[in-house]
Amino acid sequence: MPSGSGWSTVLLMTKADLIEVVSHAGAPTRRDSEIIIETIFSSVVEALRAGDKVEIRGFGSFRVRQREARMGRNPKTGEPVAVPARKVAFFKPSKELRDGINAATTPAALPGRVN
């Protein structure tokens, strides 16, 4: 929430919070909500593992990117360290999501802020 000179609190939504939101949105039980969320997450992971792209219209897309091997540095000692090649999950937000976030965080949209 905004206060005085900036943000004083960082909010975090956990998987348990998401399950709670789904249960309030009409799932018959909290257990059903948990099954729904777990199914969605595991489906995304399995699709990415198989090399597929996951696109959720109005939200964004997930895909796997290959990171090449490289030489890094140990920040404590400065010694060179070999960083192996690996696959990483990459999320690209949709235009609707970007626009929705930006609309909600403009100074005029924040409560208690005066331009």
Distance CA 40, CA 74 (A): 37
Distance CA 3, CA 88 (A): 36
The terminus-to-terminus CA distance of the chain in angstroms comes to: 17
Instruction: Write down the pLDDT at residue 27.
Output: 80
Per-residue pLDDT in tens (0 to 9) along the chain, 115 residues: 344 445 456 689 999 999 999 999 888 899 999 999 999 999 999 999 999 999 999 999 999 999 999 999 999 999 999 999 999 999 999 999 999 999 876 555 555 555 4
Q: Which residues, at least 6 apart from 22, have a Cβ–Cβ distance to it below 8 Å?
A: 33, 36, 37
What count of other Cβ atoms lies within 10 Å of the Cβ of residue 45? 13
Question: Dihedrals φ, ψ of 89, to 5°?
Answer: -80, 140
Instruction: Write down the pLDDT at residue 4.
Output: 45
Instruction: Write down the pLDDT at residue 26.
Output: 84
Instruction: Write down the pLDDT at residue 5.
Output: 45
- pTM strictly above 0.75: no
Where are the alpha helices (H) located in the chain, listed in sequence order?
A: 15-24, 30-49, 95-105
Structure letter (DSSP) for residue 95 = H
